[in-house]
Structure 1
């Protein structure tokens, strides 16, 4: 009897288990309705599942019942979860669709008008270390970018000129916040440098045009530099150079770091040894202090603080045509301070928030012959942005900005002064749509209002990219850009309005196995440029009456693969630019826009010598200038500009570097234009003097020592 009862329950339970089994089957397709093999399909919380075959088909049995979650996963695609009802019968699922998953590594990137210098991004052109080891740059960020496509080398200025635009048409940002007076103040025809140490930054975004709606008030370009996060270690860095010395100390742990650095600069000993073309009464000199702090906040936030203060000056005799003797003495003193703080945090559901504030203060004391001018410029910037990733395919960035801007000039002896104050407000929005892994569309809109000009404006911008091959991308960018006139114009006529530029850019980028090829063509139109009567030193009747254009193309090739331990890049830019601006009533070629620009940079590491040897060569076909002895404006051109620079870095110990660099090795006699007498002589001819480089060449020698627990740490980023 017991045996019969046991058999009864056995067969009863067996039938019950059989009836509880559900056969799940279906087909998995991609967005183009093509079968997806190798997709993992399973019941969430169980071991029941299968993988799709070559036709996308799958079948498996499960003992689960009732409402369950079916999960479909495959690398490179977004996971999908669907609710299913299991009732012990067959369940056929028709056409499960998996969508491609997008991220910065596998999705196409817009490259029109954009060049990245970063350790983090996919489509980088240069790395931060590449920037500071360019031989001709001597550690200046701007000097390195002058070897990239779209830029022009203006040797008597030192600032960044992009595609026929003046240096004032380039907006410079640190962590998204505007930096006013980012170049050191200097006398006419004495080249300047960017104030900030390249070692501060982990990445740089350089635009040749068509830049993001996040940035504004720049007709030509945006240069956005992002500071480093928490430092990797505590260390001290000592540098001793032929033109000065500096020390930086960093304290760091896993969550926060702080760095304090100081530098002194004095070219007096150097100029006593190296021949100068200028007559210096007091060589350039100065000091700076800089503080940078970073802190990781709870739940993933990051807080950064950056502060800098500096002072400097120079006295130089500027020769004038037709006047005997040394010329006019120019005495210049400058005091500058900059401070900013910013906070960023990523939240759940795809939100990232950013808040930042910055303040720039610049004061110049200028003594030109008998004239004494004091000039001050303050800029405060507040910024809020919110980024929302709706999915891997749609992302939006929205933001608001406030600028408070003041400028003043005082004529000391005559006790005359003039000034202006302006408040500018901005709103911007920018959306990215990934229509597929190969196709992305970006649309942006920026609006602004100036209280001084009592004028508002609207700038639409758009760009797209399509991956035409495994390693090649085609990009297109277009947009409208506004910029208020420079301060010394606005203080003379506060009613001046925005100048306007429209950009159209077509770009092709190929990146493969250490090789990069970039080609770009562009057209840029200008409207409402400032024109005036008289000369730039005493302009009058300023108005927005100028216009013009810039068009051309550029190519860039970089090879880190073909030659062992060698990295090199080649750049060529063709720029056809004309504009009516400043004192020019007709459309003329600007003196800062050579038509042909060429550069080569080569770096080779010699393992046996523990040395990196570098060389760079820059060339352009000359600068336009006006010769009053000939009819017309901008009727002449200088001879071609050329500069061969060499550098050598030697590592006798891992934490010790000896570095030497020399610019213009061949001693080319580069001329940037001519100054002429105000009146002709008795023969009817205007006398002239050439505008020369400050010295036949510049030489710098330095020793860099790093003190840390890690004896392998060094200061390569400072070279």
Structure 2
């Protein structure tokens, strides 16, 4: 009897306990309403919970009662908490929609017009090491970028020409600060180079159009070079080259580093051994001193300081068409550049930046009996603040001020002219991620010039959509303004901004070892500067020109298919016409060939401790005006430009590199145009002189030795 009573009481207690339990059930979905199987659901502070089924549904029982918090977790999505009140019986909750978490690793990035190389970039294009080892570049930054899509190689210039635009339409920045006169001053058909060593930089951002509102005063392109942070070790680097030499020394610890370098070059001995097509009275020569320092400031701050000074020159005899006479052109150049910038992360997801830079360029030019001195300065002040409101919304705010004095003087006449412009800018840019596959960017940049007394506003917009794991589609559009070059503004200070509009459609495919990029674009021009007469003595300057550029680019890079081999292939088609300068009709500019092809291959041979490289550059020729044909402008074209270059890098010891490179190894006679006599000869023909290469080939030999406690360190560690 007692046993029956005990069983009855036990069953009664079990039933009471069962009735006291609460059942929690519901469904977990994503933002699109699709089920999320495997999501974790748990009562906060308790072990009670479960995971969602294939259809997103879940159900579990708990003895908890009253107010509690239900926690939902799923990898790649934000954790969500839901307050609930539990009572015995069924507790059914409404479907829970989890929001996808957006990070740099899983989110789409805007790629229209942009080619980036940095430690953080998902699609690395050109690192400093690529620049140094591209055979046709000969260690020059712009020489390497001329192998990228959207660019044109103008062999007698050396600067960067992008999508039918003049080289002056490319804005160059170091750590976000504008660089004035980034190229060395040159004369005749002697190609110039950038002033800065690629070893200084850790990454690059090259935009062929539709670029950020942070950058302005460039109709075609923005090239942003980012210097290194703290150096990894103390070391010395000695370079001995066929054109000169230099030494660089670095002192570094965990909190700060400083690098000082000195270099000297003189092509005189080299030109004494190898015949030149140009008659140099004094070969190109020069020296430079450079300092770069970095220091950690506080917990998240970094201060960078950089300074450079250099001096150089050349002297050459320039032939005159239709005459046996020659003109002596003598050029001397002094240049200084300095900048400091500070960046830090503050509380509440704010990142701030402040910088100042100063450029000063002084040219002394003697052209026969004409003596000219030209001075160009640029002071740039800039501050930006970035706020991450969430992982979906961020904004950048910025303010800039430029002080830009320019003057030129005729020495014998003691006559000076010039101006001093103050340019002010405000800009903002907002990024909004609808989800990890779709991002919108809207920007606005406003500016004002004190000389032209003009104000302008540039709206810009971009959107990117992730098509699949490795592929994405981007669109960019916007307005861009640029004040005319100083040589024109000093003649007519009423000249207004030139203007351009960009529209770009981009497809990017990127996975480990492979990059494919296709981009089509349309660019319009308005308010271009036109004048009467020749560029050397323009008259009647005004904003009267217009034009367009349209085309398509392809870029493919493969570092996976062939062992120890890296290669990339670039093709660009550019259809560009504009009325500008002395041209009265819309013509194809001489700096905008229609078809541009480049192939770069590098292969490392481990047993020989060597890397061999080859690059081939081709375009279909340069347009020019031949007065012997008809009265039409740009009525002729040179033969195609072709340049096959080879290089060999040998590492006999870990700290010793021997590098040998030769450009145009086949000795092709490339012509870039013709200079014509202003009058006909006795046969009624305008005689001409071809604008050709300085020499059929250029040979470079360099020996680079690193001195440090780490015997395996070399210059490659800096790249």
TM range (shorter): over 0.9
2:628 is the alignment partner of 1:629: yes
TM-score (norm 2): 0.95
Provide the C-alpha distance between the structure 2 equivalents of 1:140 and 1:469, rounded to a whole number of angstroms: 37
Matches within 5 A, 1:136-151: 136-151=136-151
In structure 2, the residue matched to 1:185 is 185
Secondary structure at the aligned position of 1:136 is classed as: helix
Moved more, 45-54 or 23-32: 45-54
Note closer, same or farther for the CA distance 1:68–1:351 as it changes in structure 2 (3 Å cut). farther
Cα shift at 1:125 = 2.5
Provide the C-alpha distance between the structure 1 equivalents of 2:330 and 2:13, rounded to a whole number of angstroms: 103
Provide the C-alpha distance between the structure 2 equivalents of 1:91 and 1:323, rounded to a whole number of angstroms: 101
In structure 1, the residue matched to 2:206 is 206
Cα shift at 1:173 = 0.6
Secondary structure at the aligned position of 1:126 is classed as: coil
Provide the C-alpha distance between the structure 2 equivalents of 1:492 and 1:180, rounded to a whole number of angstroms: 20
2:551 is the alignment partner of 1:552: yes
Cα shift at 1:75 = 1.8
Note closer, same or farther for the CA distance 1:83–1:674 as it changes in structure 2 (3 Å cut). same
In structure 1, the residue matched to 2:412 is 413
Matches within 5 A, 1:146-295: 146-295=146-295
Q: Deviations over 1:196-252 (max 9, x none)?
A: 111111111111111111111000000011111111111111111111111111111
Matches within 5 A, 1:230-629: 230-325=230-325, 327-629=326-628
Q: Deviations over 1:490-527 (max 9, x none)?
A: 00000000001111111111123322211111111111
Moved more, 569-578 or 469-478: 469-478
Q: Deviations over 1:506-552 (max 9, x none)?
A: 11111233222111111111111000111111111100001111111
Secondary structure at the aligned position of 1:678 is classed as: strand
Note closer, same or farther for the CA distance 1:537–1:78 as it changes in structure 2 (3 Å cut). same
Cα shift at 1:181 = 0.2
Provide the C-alpha distance between the structure 2 equivalents of 1:37 and 1:348, rounded to a whole number of angstroms: 37
Q: Structure 2: which 5+ runs fail to align? A: 1-9
What is the aligned-residue RMSD (CA, Å)? 2.1
TM-score (norm 1): 0.95
Provide the C-alpha distance between the structure 2 equivalents of 1:317 and 1:461, rounded to a whole number of angstroms: 48
Provide the C-alpha distance between the structure 2 equivalents of 1:677 and 1:574, rounded to a whole number of angstroms: 33
Asked if the contact 1:474/1:508 (under 8 Å) is kept, the reply is: yes
Q: Deviations over 1:83-109 (max 9, x none)?
A: 344567654332121111112221112
Moved more, 559-568 or 463-472: 463-472
Asked if the contact 2:322/2:681 (under 8 Å) is kept, the reply is: no
Note closer, same or farther for the CA distance 1:116–1:535 as it changes in structure 2 (3 Å cut). same
In structure 1, the residue matched to 2:5 is none
Provide the C-alpha distance between the structure 1 equivalents of 2:516 and 2:639, rounded to a whole number of angstroms: 30
Note closer, same or farther for the CA distance 1:454–1:20 as it changes in structure 2 (3 Å cut). farther
Q: Deviations over 1:457-492 (max 9, x none)?
A: 111111111222332211111111100000010000
Secondary structure at the aligned position of 1:199 is classed as: helix
Asked if the contact 2:126/2:204 (under 8 Å) is kept, the reply is: no
Secondary structure at the aligned position of 1:124 is classed as: coil
Asked if the contact 1:459/1:479 (under 8 Å) is kept, the reply is: yes
Note closer, same or farther for the CA distance 1:710–1:535 as it changes in structure 2 (3 Å cut). same
Secondary structure at the aligned position of 2:713 is classed as: coil
Secondary structure at the aligned position of 2:93 is classed as: strand
Note closer, same or farther for the CA distance 1:43–1:716 as it changes in structure 2 (3 Å cut). same
Cα shift at 1:67 = 4.5
Note closer, same or farther for the CA distance 1:384–1:29 as it changes in structure 2 (3 Å cut). same
2:676 is the alignment partner of 1:685: no
Note closer, same or farther for the CA distance 1:83–1:617 as it changes in structure 2 (3 Å cut). same
Asked if the contact 2:26/2:94 (under 8 Å) is kept, the reply is: yes
In structure 2, the residue matched to 1:699 is 699
Provide the C-alpha distance between the structure 2 equivalents of 1:253 and 1:20, rounded to a whole number of angstroms: 66
Asked if the contact 1:109/1:123 (under 8 Å) is kept, the reply is: no
In structure 1, the residue matched to 2:32 is 32
Secondary structure at the aligned position of 1:269 is classed as: helix
Secondary structure at the aligned position of 1:629 is classed as: coil
Moved more, 269-278 or 707-716: 707-716
Note closer, same or farther for the CA distance 1:78–1:678 as it changes in structure 2 (3 Å cut). same
In structure 2, the residue matched to 1:640 is 640
Matches within 5 A, 1:51-62: 51-60=51-60
Note closer, same or farther for the CA distance 1:255–1:42 as it changes in structure 2 (3 Å cut). farther
2:119 is the alignment partner of 1:119: yes
Provide the C-alpha distance between the structure 2 equivalents of 1:88 and 1:234, rounded to a whole number of angstroms: 70
Provide the C-alpha distance between the structure 2 equivalents of 1:149 and 1:244, rounded to a whole number of angstroms: 33
Secondary structure at the aligned position of 1:94 is classed as: coil
Provide the C-alpha distance between the structure 1 equivalents of 2:503 and 2:295, rounded to a whole number of angstroms: 41
Cα shift at 1:72 = 2.2
Provide the C-alpha distance between the structure 1 equivalents of 2:238 and 2:84, rounded to a whole number of angstroms: 67
Provide the C-alpha distance between the structure 2 equivalents of 1:674 and 1:718, rounded to a whole number of angstroms: 43
Q: Deviations over 1:407-452 (max 9, x none)?
A: 0001111000000011111111111121122221111111111111
Provide the C-alpha distance between the structure 1 equivalents of 2:17 and 2:346, rounded to a whole number of angstroms: 47
Moved more, 446-455 or 122-131: 122-131
In structure 2, the residue matched to 1:3 is none
Asked if the contact 1:445/1:458 (under 8 Å) is kept, the reply is: yes
Secondary structure at the aligned position of 2:531 is classed as: strand
Provide the C-alpha distance between the structure 1 equivalents of 2:285 and 2:12, rounded to a whole number of angstroms: 99
Moved more, 42-51 or 372-381: 42-51
Provide the C-alpha distance between the structure 2 equivalents of 1:659 and 1:458, rounded to a whole number of angstroms: 49
